[in-house]
Amino acid sequence: MDASEISSQSGEQCPQLSTTIASPVMDGAIPALSEPRVEATPQPPSSIQKRKRDESLDSEDDLAELFEPDPQPVWSVEMLCGLRMRLKRRRVSTVRPEHHKVFTKLLEDPVVKKFLTWDKMLRVSDKYLLSMVIAYFSRAGLFSWQYRPIHFFLALYLANDMEEDNQAPKQDIFYFLYGKSYAQRPMFHKLRFQFIRSMGWKIWVSREECEEIQAYNPDLWVWARDRTNLT
């Protein structure tokens, strides 16, 4: 049996693999990923072990974003009196740099930019409500490239639903997106429910976390949208 026959037999025993992941909010799917077929050639044990180590490192890099462990709690000394010490548990933010990056990218979308310009009185898009959008992005469990402008409006609507006593202004989001038509609103609420479920129903965001999010990139222009500065 020559090398070509061995290669063909090994190819029949190792079919190609593909993986498809569906977004909890989007209908699209990640394109299938397939591994190239490699001919079986004899290699020394040292090279086989090296190749296994390289493949292991590659797979760890690809899945780092998906399987990154939860942050460990951090403790700081709040008070020290003699031999007695009181510890305070500090909150560890789960917002990662890619969540800030995707939010900044969505701010350049024409529809989002037009909406922020349209809401000049900051009725539904002041700096704290916008920082909650980033917090929701970090909890939704989507890959950074899956976020679309619709996710921005879903998160902003949810932020207004949680924080604002006056619920009338959030209807401005519907008016801006769909005008006076009510046909698309049921689909919007369906996507909103799916978005909340993808966050594990964790929709409360503290003021401290909002300020931490703003402090990550304090020069971002949307953080100047402060209602206290309006005349």
* C-alpha span between 117 and 228 (Å, rounded): 18
Residue 200 in domain = yes
Q: How many domains does the chain have?
A: 1
CB contact at 8 A, 24 and 141: yes
Note down the domain range covering 143.
Answer: 97-229
- pLDDT digits over 82-96, tens only? 666 665 555 556 788
Residue 182 neighbours by CB under 8 Å, 6+ apart: none
Q: Is 7 domain-assigned?
A: no
Question: What pLDDT was estimated at residue 127?
Answer: 95
What confidence tens digit (pLDDT) does each residue in 88-138 have?
555 556 788 999 999 999 999 999 999 999 999 999 999 999 999 999 999
Type of residue found at 42:
P
Q: What is the pLDDT of residues 168-181, one digit of tens each?
A: 888 999 999 999 88
Range name among 16-20, 36-40, 128-132 with the lowest pLDDT average: 16-20
3-12, 68-77, 191-200: least confident range: 3-12
Determine the pLDDT at residue 184. 92
102 falls within a domain: yes
Decide: 184 and 150 in contact? Cβ < 8 Å: no
CB 157 within 8 A of CB 170: yes
Model confidence at 190: pLDDT above 50: yes
Average pLDDT (16-22) is 37
Is the residue at 216 inside a domain?
yes
149 domain residue, yes or no: yes
Q: Is 159 part of a structural domain of the chain?
A: yes
Indicate if the pLDDT at residue 221 is higher than 70.
Answer: yes
Residue 9 placed within a domain: no
Q: Is residue 205 part of a domain?
A: yes
Phi and psi (nearest 5°) for 123? -65, -35
What does pTM read for this prediction?
0.62
Whether pLDDT at 12 is above 90: no
Least confident of 30-34, 81-85, 177-181, 214-218: 30-34
Higher pLDDT: 173 or 25? It is: 173
Judge whether residue 198 has pLDDT over 70: yes
